[in-house]
Structure 1
């Protein structure tokens, strides 16, 4: 091999190495988003782009998902060109869960929603006004979104979720040119962890500063309430859930609902359980443990004590039922019957906590009126 050819190869190798070195240097993050409670996502900031990672997109997920949010595409390293790239700030979005709606409202981006499956579920007054004015397209049932109408809308992205890891429908969307972003807020165990997903949504609108401000206000209020009953020795006992079929479903001990009840100064009878999802128990097992529970909070769609007793007369044996200390969280419903608790509750755990404290300790928070909850009669 000639000296000239060797020199050319040497220069080429040096050039490649310098290019790789420069790319590595350019890819060093300027900032990593510091999260206080949420564990399911991460955001790294770079010059001209940011990398958003959903660490656990669904229960028992073996892989994470990454999205490249671009404000200046020329700054994105070649190594990331094949990743899911989204130009930000986005100008339009389709959401698939009512829990996404308050995120838009609180960021001042209500007008960016252009499609949603079964819009009747939405309770937000601001969003219902847009729906009534024809600005939000009803895309059918969540599990079978009308892809033709979705493509016709041409949104910048769709914010989705999956319970069991089925990504098939989202693959179809992406093949048709609609980026599908997974939101896994529901997997967070701490109530403030779910609320902190506001920062996840904010990244797509370049509104991180606003998200910080809103979240800090919610966190501050939550912690103020938390301190009220921190040293309470005698705590009222709590039962939750109802029977579906032959199974009594109730929050596990690590479920965020359990955390809220205990943070309110209650003694949730299954708090020592290690389950983060929902327990599936027999009626008899619950009867034996919770017959004398002081309060029964969370009774699904039941709206009266009579309806509960008619469903199963054994319910009337519980002390909480006899003493009329049974509470539903569905006090507020949207214009079409959607649950405001199921929509807004993830973002506003401070409101839930205030309700629970008011229920368990009626003399506390004299100015607070129950927001999501009401006592059944």
Structure 2
């Protein structure tokens, strides 16, 4: 048998790592009041197409956010500042601008996010890099990680200065702090799906829960583009567009990077001793490919 080189990859090339905007290192059918986008319509640009906007009683559609790589969400814009954030295979979130009210006949399954969002509990630690990139840390009041755990300097300093408080990890949040700090949104990773009781308790406190599914993207720039979902919440679309375009250029500069043929084994070990590898269609194997390597677990 040929000998193969197995390598544990902790950090890829800096430029590719930055492009994920997220890694923390080694550590349906229509409904009353709204209908899912299910077709194609022309945009303002000749020849361009986009999904039909969901119809919401009382709101008038304007445009759809343009996405290049992300496939896990869409953002639809309506007049008077309303936005609908549709996370595929999950929930829809109606972002209601400050001073406005939600539509009277809004479907009960749509989660309402009232702007301004200024007291966010960020338990999905990977999203911190995206908030930092669009200068949105002021909207985060509580974190699911301690100051010593952060690799993001601005987040670490904000916690040391008391601007961001530790409110417990995702599985054990400090519910009293969430109440005392007027938490207006809890952003969770998909890990919360393993502790559904926690999500239920947060929502029982009338705190909306948003689950970040960026890790399901198949391309690193798809994951990075989730910055636009958060930008819609904070009205920071311009900053997000600028950052994302820059990262796209970084990856674009690597298009002629030759594959070395070297194999890479990327895995992690859970606290219960389970060894976990990434699917070959995941964004991390794609990063390895962009960086010139070959993901060993192709099947």
Give TM-score scaled by structure 1 length: 0.58
Deviations 1:141-164 (A, max 9, x none): 321111111111112211112244
Kindly indicate whether residue 243 of structure 2 is the aligned counterpart of residue 214 of structure 1. Answer: yes
Could you say which residue in structure 1 is the equivalent of 2:26? none
Q: CA deviation at 1:208?
A: 1.0
* Structure 1: gaps (5+ residues): 1-22, 57-63, 274-377
SS of match in other structure, 1:226: coil
| Residue pairs, 1:186-335, within 5 angstroms | 186-229=215-258, 235-241=260-266, 249-271=276-298, 273=299
1-structure distance, mates of 2:273, 2:160: 41
Alpha-carbon distance in structure 2 between the residues aligned to 1:168 and 1:144: 11
The C-alpha deviation readout for 1:285-328, integer Å capped at 9, x for no partner, is: xxxxxxxxxxxxxxxxxxxxxxxxxxxxxxxxxxxxxxxxxxxx
In structure 2, the residue matched to 1:121 is 149
Q: CA deviation at 1:28?
A: 4.3
Written as runs of structure 1 = structure 2, the 5 A alignment for 1:128-147 is 128-147=156-175
User: Which residue number corresponds to residue 54 of structure 1?
Assistant: 87
Q: Which has the higher helix share?
A: 1
Distance 2:221 2:241 in 1: 13
**The structure with more radius of gyration:** 1
Judged with a 3 Å threshold, the aligned counterparts in structure 2 of structure 1 residues 263 and 44 are, in CA distance, closer, same or farther, namely same
**Shift, 1:247, TM fit:** 6.8
Match of 2:31 in 1: none
Offset, 1:91: 2.0
- What secondary structure is seen at the aligned counterpart in 2 of 1:169? helix
Q: Does structure 1 residue 27 correspond to structure 2 residue 59?
A: yes
SS at 1:51 equivalent? strand
Shift of 1:174: 2.0
Displacement after TM superposition at 1:189 (Å): 1.5
Separation (CA, whole Å) in 1 of partners of 2:197 and 2:248: 37
| 1:86 equivalent in structure 2 | 113
In the other structure, the counterpart of 1:60 is none
Q: How big is the shift at 1:25?
A: 7.7
Tell me the secondary structure at the aligned position of residue 69 of structure 2: coil
TM-score w.r.t. length of structure 2: 0.72
Residue segments in structure 2 that go unaligned for 5+ positions in a row? 1-54
Contact 1:38 1:194 survives alignment (8 Å)? yes
SS at the partner of 2:77? Answer: strand
- For residue 248 of structure 1, report the CA deviation from its aligned partner: 5.5
| In 1: Cα distance, 2:208 partner to 2:114 partner | 11
Structure having greater relative contact order (Cα 8 Å, sep ≥ 6) = 2
Q: What is the root-mean-square deviation of aligned Cα atoms in Å?
A: 2.5
TM-superposed CA distance for 1:97, in Å, is 2.3
Moved over 6 A (4+): none
